[in-house]
Amino acid sequence: MTTAILLAGGVSFLLSLVLTRAVIALAPKIGFVDKPGHRKIHHNPKPLGGGIAIFWTIAIVILLGVASVVTYLPRGPASMLISGAETEAELAAKTESLSTYTPPLTRGLVQGVRQQLPLVIAFLVATLAMHVMGLIDDKQALGPYSKLFTQLMVTTALVVFMEYLALDTPSLRLRVLTALDNMTGSPIPSIALTVAWIVAITNAFNFLDNMDGLSAGVAALCAVAFLITSITIGQTFVAGTLAVFIGAVLGFLVWNFPPARIFMGDSGSLVLGFVLGVLTVKTTYLPAGEALGAGWYAVFVPVVVLALPLYDLVVVSCIRLSRGKSPFVGDTNHFSHRLVARGMSRRTAVLCIYLITFATSIAAVLLPQVKTTFAAMLIFAQTLLILCVVLLLEQHPLPTQSEKQS
């Protein structure tokens, strides 16, 4: 299974590498470039459209993977799993029968692909909607609240649609903190929190796309942490999807690492955040058979992994609001900008943020494995201390306009 996951990631990487190079050649010819000016830190027009390579790599590889499983299954006993709409009991019986023919990990992937196929299709459609909105914004800037409204509508539609399908197949549910259902007597609080989480992560990576290689590199590091976690707890379908995502992002990052030859634009950064947001919701973070009460802290894995992007989102939004500005209007108040103002080169600032993300990700990977609340508290404290270091580094004031001119 690990081999299959690595293969998916490798294919994704190569396809993204080639598609990104093609976009670099094509974008200037059709005028799809990001021109210098305003708060931009580059001095020459740069090709846009890296998001095109990222999205279509993810979509193509996932669809090919699903198609290959469906095409292969009818050749053997595994074809029993795709014969039509079975009841849970019938599916269980067929799965048991399949066990004498195929290895357990292969059965896990087969079952995962089949059971999650409606989610795969709905997920790709929703991601396409985010991608298209980003493309439109890259070409002709949309209003920030129009973008936010579209994000909320797309995300809500996805979550509610999967909730409807989950009435027949509970494994399709796409929600966080479902325990709230028993407390409130309604799924609405959980649905609202899920939508808010996915939209927050989507915007966190959109905000983070302010320097060459930053958003893509942080997304890849976070995805690796989630990949390790999903493998260790046996969620092979999520792991495969994450591998495809990592390959697509790294293939683009080859051309985007500073000094960048292409930008992803909103068509890419919105896709990064949305995909990670959905996959973090889909992951359970608890090993099979372990009760939530015994390992409740494991549900905070995504918060720890994404601590820095979320921190930057909150701090920058607060700064903008305190100055009477919209939190969605770009400026140079991000952590990366403050590191550069402190004297770092842009590449060094990006690498510094990579290392901070790496540090929080290591702690998060360990979280589902710890057996005591005390050990979990140590991990939370470590994450908080890392953010305190970030806060101290941000105390350096940004240069004034007169200082910039001098």
Q: For the ranges 142-146, 190-194, 250-254, which has the lowest average pLDDT?
A: 142-146
Q: What pLDDT score was predicted for residue 3?
A: 79
Contacts with 179 (C-beta within 8 Å, 6 or more apart), sequence order: 292
Q: What is the pLDDT of residue 79?
A: 42
Using 50, 70 and 90 to split pLDDT, how confident is the model at 31?
A: confident
* CA pair distance 357, 302, nearest whole angstrom: 12
To which residue do tokens 């269980």 refer?
A: 92
Average pLDDT score, the chain = 83
Q: Is the pLDDT of residue 219 over 90?
A: yes
- Asked whether the predicted pLDDT for residue 40 surpasses 60, the reply is no
Reduced to 3 states, what is the DSSP secondary structure of residue 292?
coil
Residue, of 69 and 297, whose pLDDT is higher: 297
Residue 359: what are its φ and ψ, rounded to 5°?
Answer: -65, -45
267-293 per-position pLDDT tens digit: 999 999 999 999 999 987 765 555 444
What tokens does 330 get? 């770009």
User: Tokens 């357990």 — which residue?
Assistant: 104
Higher confidence at residue 100 or residue 240? 240
pLDDT of residue 112: 59
pLDDT average, residue stretch 231-253: 91
Q: How far is Cα 318 from Cα 327, in angstroms, rounded to an integer?
A: 7
CB-based burial of residue 259 (10 Å sphere; 0-12 exposed, 13-18 middle, 19+ buried)? Answer: exposed
Q: Are 135 and 267 in contact, with CB atoms under 8 Å apart? A: yes
pLDDT at 34: 78
pLDDT given for residue 107 in this prediction? 55
357, pLDDT greater than 60: yes
Name residues whose C-beta falls within 8 Å of residue 86's C-beta, 6 or more positions apart in sequence: 94
What does the pLDDT look like over 361-391, one tens digit per residue? 998 998 888 888 898 999 999 999 999 999 8
Residue showing tokens 């299954």: 73
Between helices 266-282 and 188-208, what is the axis angle to 10°? 140
Confidence of residue 245 (pLDDT cuts 50, 70, 90): very high
Q: Residue 89: pLDDT above 80?
A: no
Q: Is the pLDDT of residue 94 over 80?
A: no
In this predicted structure, what is the pLDDT of residue 66? 83
Neighbours of 344 (CB within 10 A): 16
pLDDT of amino acid 53: 96
Question: Rg of the Cα trace of the chain?
Answer: 22
CA atoms of 349 and 68, how far apart (whole Å): 42
Q: What are the two backbone dihedrals, phi and then psi, of residue 270, each rounded to the nearest 5 degrees? A: -65, -35
Residues 163, 122: contact at Cβ < 8 Å? no
Q: Which of 82-91, 203-212, 295-304, 392-401 has the lowest mean pLDDT?
A: 82-91
DSSP code, position 71:
H
Q: What is the mean pLDDT of residues 213-222?
A: 96
Model confidence at 108: pLDDT above 50: yes
* pLDDT reported for residue 406: 37
Q: Which of 115-119, 198-202, 237-241, 346-350 has the lowest mean pLDDT?
A: 115-119
Inform me whether the pLDDT recorded for 247 exceeds 90. yes
Higher model confidence: residue 104 or residue 237? 237
Of residues 250 and 139, the one with the higher pLDDT is 250
Model confidence at 37, pLDDT cuts 50, 70, 90, reads: low
Residues 6+ apart with CB under 8 A from 84: none
Q: Do residues 278 and 198 touch, judged by C-beta distance below 8 A?
A: yes
Report the alpha-carbon distance of residue 166 to residue 131 in Å, rounded. 26
| The most confident of 11-15, 206-210, 335-339, by mean pLDDT | 11-15
pLDDT at position 234, please? 79
Residue type, 230: S
- Residue 253 near residue 20, CB atoms below 8 Å: no
Whether the predicted pLDDT of 341 surpasses 90: no
Question: Which region among 69-78, 217-226, 228-237 has the lowest average model confidence (pLDDT)?
Answer: 69-78
Tell me whether residue 359 is exposed, middle or buried, using C-beta atoms within 10 angstroms of its C-beta: 0 to 12, 13 to 18, 19 or more. Answer: middle
Residue with tokens 């899920």: 194
Tokens of 200: 């927050």
Nearest to 397 by CA among 311, 332, 321: 332
- CB within 8 A of 181, min separation 6: which ones? 187, 190
Nearest of 119, 118, 122, 149 to residue 133 by alpha carbon:
149
- To the nearest whole percent, how much of the chain has pLDDT over 90? 47
Q: Residues with Cβ < 8 Å from 341, sequence gap 6 or more?
A: 396, 397, 398, 399
Query: What pTM does this model have?
Result: 0.86
Give the C-alpha separation, 80 to 67, whole Å.
16
Per-residue pLDDT at 121 exceeds 60: yes
Q: Is the per-residue pLDDT at 99 higher than 60?
A: no
